[in-house]
Amino acid sequence: MIGGHGGNIYELARRLGCDPAEILDLSSNVNPLGPPAGLCDYLARQIETVSALPEVDNQGIIRCYADHLGISADRMIAGNGTTQFIYSIPAVLKVDRALIVGPTYSDYADACRLQGVASEFFLCRESDGFKPDLDRLEEAAAGADAVFICNPNNPTGALIPGGELKRLCRRRPQVRFIVDESYLPFVADGEGQSLVRSGIDNLLVLLSISKIYRIPGLRVGFLVASPATIAAFARGLWPWNVNQLGQAAVRFLCEAGADLDAFAAGTRAYLDVERRQFEQRLGLIPGLRVFPSPTSFFLVRLPEGLSASMVWTALAQERILIRDCSNFQGLSDRFIRISPKTPDANRRVAERLAGLAAQIRRSAAVSQPQTIETSSSKR
């Protein structure tokens, strides 16, 4: 099993001897307000459909979701989460050398490794707020035949404007660009920044409904690409790769219309307030840096003396789970990721981080050697 993923609430619950529901999970970057009203009740009414096979090729949900996005159905395919496509990309595209814009989600590199594909990282600089230098990236992309970009990026929150990504794709037509837009629905004007309607042949866009609608357990994702690329993926796709309830959820979302737009807008407004309040509280901690993010999480660099493992362990003992980012290529053990939840939960975590930082400062002050005044120092 791939081991690069972050907080495992089930493993922590086993270690603590508690129910997973008793853990405050700020490592999970799904919508704190979801799922949308009515979705779970609708799925409960669909439960008897699990006694029959789902539609084998997902054509029903592909057509309705493509229509929802305003694109042709032959440019889209549905899968068992975007993960299915990530792990299929190296083989289907016959990738020889991949470039991964990081620090980022580990599955892009893991997918290449499992297929025996050479990959390297284009690491963004902390001094730039982890925003990629697109001139440097364009130059680096010339040596690859596939480039993975998470936009906005997990875990840094950095967002590349859609227009700039389009120019990059068009200036390197021989390179396939895989742009993961899983967190773009959390961004104000995310629809305007999306590349799903760009029609660029060397572009593949990954779309997730797990994050914004808080249904990761249903495992549904989409890939948007040229008709020829979609046909290549379809030839190797498993039959019945989206289950009955996953298909039912997509149908519900496609029929929700304006209510769904209002839900997403309300989510963005809520997170905007909670992120700013979180940042204000954490900004009072000397030496701590919060990296601005337009999405459902933000990256934190801890002050000197605090490591991600120390913070993770201290919070885990209080049944609070955050993301230790030390295993991200390009980050160190000074980085954690936090996903805001309720106002009370956010306040509690901010206060606990402040307490841990204060404790470290007190320990450092006590351990410093005392200055002994001598006769020469009096002069």
Domain boundary among 223, 256, 289: 256
- 203 and 71 in one domain? yes
Q: Give phi and psi for 34, each to the nearest 5.
A: -85, 180
DSSP codes of every residue in 36-98: PTTHHHHHHHTGGGGGS---TT-HHHHHHHHHHHTS-GGGEEEESHHHHHHHHHHHHTT-SEE
Tell me if residue 9 falls in helix, strand or coil.
helix
Q: Name the pairing type of β-strands 323-324 and 298-301.
A: unpaired
217 pLDDT exceeds 60?
A: yes
Tokens of 135: 């001139």
Pair 80, 165 in one domain: yes
Question: What does the pLDDT look like over 346-366, one tens digit per residue?
Answer: 999 999 999 999 998 887 766
- The CA distance from 63 to 4, in Å, is 34
Specify whether the CB–CB gap between 42 and 256 falls below 8 A: no
Mean pLDDT of 168-193: 97
Q: Which of 368, 360, 362, 345 is nearest to 302 (CA)?
A: 360
Domain boundary among the residues 234, 256, 278 is at 256
On whether both 182 and 286 belong to a single domain, the answer is no
160 inside domain: yes
Long-range contacts of 92-96 (CB under 8 A, 24+ apart): 92/232, 92/233, 92/236, 93/145, 93/146, 93/176, 93/229, 93/232, 95/145, 95/146, 95/176, 96/145
Give the model's pLDDT for residue 127: 94
Phi, psi for residue 85 in degrees, rounded to 5: -75, -40
- Same domain, yes or no: 280 and 221: no
CATH number of the domain within which 164 lies: 3.40.640.10
Q: 227-235 vs 81-92: helix axis angle to the nearest 10? A: 100
Residue carrying the six token digits 């808080």: 214
235 and 110 assigned to the same domain: yes
Residue type at position 174: Q
Same domain, yes or no, for 242 and 286? no
20 and 140 housed in the same domain: no
* Domain presence at residue 238: yes
Arithmetic mean of pLDDT over the chain: 93
CB 98 within 8 A of CB 118: yes
* Model confidence pLDDT, tens digit, residues 229-270: 999 999 999 999 999 999 999 999 999 989 999 999 999 999
The pLDDT of residue 115 is above 50: yes
Is residue 322 a contact partner of residue 345, using CB atoms and an 8 Å limit?
Answer: no
Whether residue 330 has pLDDT greater than 50? yes
pLDDT tens digit string along 63-81? 999 999 999 999 999 999 9
Count structural domains, the chain: 2
Residue 379 has pLDDT above 50, yes or no: no
**Given this model, what pLDDT does residue 7 score?**
54
For residue 35, is it within any domain? no
266 and 198 belong to one structural domain:
no
- Is the residue at 83 inside a domain? yes
Residue 375 in any domain: the answer is no
Say which residues have a Cβ less than 8 Å from residue 186's Cβ, sequence separation at least 6: 31, 152, 211, 212, 267, 268, 271, 294, 295, 296
355 in helix, strand or coil?
helix
CA distance 28 to 32: 9
* 184 shares a domain with 152: yes
Which CATH number is 349's domain given?
Answer: 3.90.1150.10
The answer on pLDDT for 201 being more than 80 is: yes
Position 257 scores a pLDDT of 87
Give the whole-angstrom CA distance, residue 119 versus residue 100: 7
Distance of alpha carbon 142 from alpha carbon 153, whole angstroms: 22
Sheet holding 146-150, edge to edge: 76-79, 221-224, 203-208, 176-180, 146-150, 97-102, 118-123
The domain containing residue 292 runs over which residues?
Answer: 9-30+260-363
Distance CA 114, CA 108 (A): 10
The answer on 95 and 65 residing in a single domain is yes
Q: Is residue 36 part of a domain?
A: no
Query: Can you tell me which residue has the tokens 């008897």?
Result: 48
Give residue 371's pLDDT: 45
309 has a pLDDT exceeding 80: yes
Whether residue 113 lies inside any domain: the answer is yes
Domain closes at, from 196, 225, 256: 256
Question: Does any domain span residue 1?
Answer: no
* Gap between the Cα atoms of 120 and 123, Å rounded: 9
Element (H, E) at 208: strand 203-208
**Domain check: are 231 and 291 in the same one?**
no
- CA 331 to chain centroid: 16
Please tell me the predicted confidence (pLDDT) of residue 2: 52
Q: Is the pLDDT of residue 62 over 80?
A: yes
Q: Do both 319 and 237 map to the same domain?
A: no
